[in-house]
Amino acid sequence: MKSVVLVTGASTGIGYLSARALAAAGHTVYASMRDIHGRNAPRVRELRDWSFANGHELRAVELDVLSQASADAAIKTIIAEQGRLDVVVHNAGHLVVGPVEAFSPEEVVRVFDTNTLGTLRVNKAALPYMRNAQSGLMLWISSSTVRGGFPPFLGPYAAAKAAMDSLAVTMSFELARFGIETSIVVPGAFTRGTAHFPNAGQPADKVTADAYARYDGLMDQVGARLSALTPDHADPQAVAEEVARIVSLPAGERPFRSVIDFIDDGAGAVTEVAERVREEFAERIGIADLLKPTLAS
């Protein structure tokens, strides 16, 4: 069944690839990003031209996840044009790299604002329509840092992704009786194919960051090792294809969590145990019906 899909943070990386994969799968896709008439205008033209040339339904929509007004306006645009919104893909995020001590609390708040609170703003705008429709899918792009191994100097980003992942799990129960499904896609580390690391932010406090000079070269060392561990066929396109596959599945058949990790940092193994425990605990406290929205609704 063709769905109307919103993808946040679709100007680059997994969001961009997912928007194209979803459109190629036959869905009507809104690729959201900031500044569609300015900085991202070339990307908007690129997506528009690709969509037109291939006969797909893919269009850009202005959405800054740091602004509730922007999120509200984007959702209203989609509803006005399509009459419904079936799927939200929470992808927008920003990586920062550096010693945790060097980040000010305000800088860490900004990381959480983009990676965690931004999802809440989009949900505030989208969920009233989806709850009213008694159907839909919330698809969250998490990270293997939430449950797998990861190197130092990713602290604020990993913490924000863990918080987002936790909200996704909690909301899966809270949305079940509205017939809204949840899927969490968990990408592992990709050393090529995205601008994640090249565009990473750093702490403003260079004095404190420089105090960690004894770790100089460590992230380059880790990056080289990850590259060596990465098979030649590893590509973030695999994450986009999994997003499109999940969205295209019939309601009730979508996986709760899917790990796409070519390096195997352990997130898959931990997920197997964690999901079993989550389901067993839901049984023990009498809310097992909330594990399957189609049953609850």
The residues assigned a catalytic role are 11, 142, 157, 161
* Runs of H (alpha helix) within the chain: 13-24, 41-54, 68-82, 105-112, 118-133, 155-176, 206-210, 218-229, 237-248, 267-284, 293-296
Distant-in-sequence, close-in-space partners of 63: CB < 8 Å, separation ≥ 6 = 6, 8, 32, 33, 34, 70, 71, 73, 74, 122
How far apart CA 26 and CA 243 sit, in angstroms, is: 13
How far apart CA 159 and CA 249 sit, in angstroms, is: 31
| H helix or E strand, kind and range, residue 213 | none
- Token duo for residue 280: 């067993």
Q: Which amino acid, residue 86?
A: D
DSSP bridge partners of 225:
none
Q: Is the dihedral of CA 48, 51, 52, 57 positive or negative?
A: negative
